[in-house]
Amino acid sequence: MTEQRHPDIEIYIKSRSVEQIETWLGTLGDVTRLNSKGLTHDYTVLMDGQLVPVMLHEKVAGKAWLSLWFKENLTPWAQDLGCAHAAATAMETQIRCVAAGWNDGDEPDEYWKVENGQQEKIIWRS
């Protein structure tokens, strides 16, 4: 059984700079910063011939966290958790992502915490 592909990918990155995240994005493909306004930065990343719109938002869920949102899932990962593992390994930091989809009955505060090659489900109330 294959994983259902999420329509977009969003991860939360702990204590990394915009520059460190941009460097990681550059390992995925050619990165172009379209604009920055305050704490929000918009990019495109050319992955396998597809332009993927990406938004980075600083200081979400407390000052230590940044949200990285691939607005269309034209990424190598079927779901957020795969991206979280790749980012956690590459940036050597904790990454969080939603544990379930956005279906009725899902726990909205249940997240995966990914760090040092390990994953665990947590309740994250920001």
Q: How confident is the model at residue 102 (pLDDT cuts 50, 70, 90)?
A: low
Between CA 123 and CA 82 the distance in angstroms is 19
Q: Where do the domains of the chain lie, and which CATH numbers do they carry? A: 9-123 (3.30.310)
Closest CA relative to residue 101, chosen from 1, 7, 11: 7
Determine what percent of the chain is predicted with pLDDT higher than 70: 90
Segment 29-62, tens digit of pLDDT: 999 999 999 999 999 999 999 999 999 999 998 8
Average pLDDT score over residue span 6-10: 95
Per-residue confidence (pLDDT) for residue 61, from 0 to 100:
84
Task: Judge whether residue 1 has pLDDT over 60.
Answer: no
